[in-house]
Amino acid sequence: MIRIEALEFSYDSREFRLAVDELTIESGERVAVIGASGSGKTTLLHLIAGIVLPERGRITTNGIDVSALSEPARRDFRIVNAGLVFQEFELLEYLNVLDNILLPYRINSSLRLNRDVRKRAVELARSVGIGDRLSRCARQLSQGEKQRAAVCRALLPCPSLLMADEPTGNLDPANKARVLDILLEYAEASGATLLTVTHDHELVSKFPRVIDCKEFHFSSSASGSGGSELEREGP
């Protein structure tokens, strides 16, 4: 499903370099990525999704060399193949909840919006407890409600790869358990790969595989040495 080889990456504003000699995540794996703030968790997801590109190396997802795609092609790849739950939600504040959930179908012609898709969007919203918020604009939602709307949007296209950056970070204990169960149940039922960044160590036990960023190798630009995986991230 995901393979990273000989990757190097750095941010211009920070004097560090990321080095990933090799990292493989198999299809259908459920993986938690943990570590302190600034340890590389979000950057790892962004590299896999093609939101940012490595300076060197290769990232292959679903048999596609994502690192070799143009920006428009990477965007289309994400919409069709990857469900993303961003830490900042990335909802359009002027759209209502239902239209935010349906957004992937509005911006990519390869996804067909029909009655069944609309029905699934409503069912997803109800499953996370925001079924009564569908007509509200995103700006009228609490942080936790925005988080749940973002989860619904990521799940709607039935992606083969689901990547969530702190998907339960703004939720109370009851909704945290509900959302995590939905993500895990979706991955198990569909065979999708689930890659979840979390600071919450209570959730880690639910994941068969854990990647701890404190163990990732960091290579400064001065040393030029390689590493097995990733340790630092940018802003």
DSSP string, 169-231: TT--HHHHHHHHHHHHHHHHHHT-EEEEE-S-TTSGGG-SEEEEGGGS-EE-TTT----SS--
Residue 151: name the closest of 85, 200, 107, 86 by CA.
85
Asked whether residue 118 is domain-assigned, the answer is: no
pLDDT digits (tens, 9 = 90+) for 6-30: 888 877 656 666 777 888 999 999 9
CATH number, position 184: 3.40.50.300
Asked whether residue 167 is domain-assigned, the answer is: yes
* CA distances in angstroms from 159 to 13, 134, 191, listed in the order given: 34, 22, 10
Asked whether residue 84 is domain-assigned, the answer is: yes
Q: Which of 18-22, 87-91, 193-197, 218-222 has the lowest mean pLDDT?
A: 218-222
Asked whether residue 104 is domain-assigned, the answer is: no
Domain that holds residue 60: 2-90+159-219
Q: What is the pTM of this model?
A: 0.83
* CA distances in angstroms from 15 to 36, 46, 65, listed in the order given: 19, 19, 28
- Most confidently predicted of 5-19, 45-59, 198-212, 213-227: 45-59
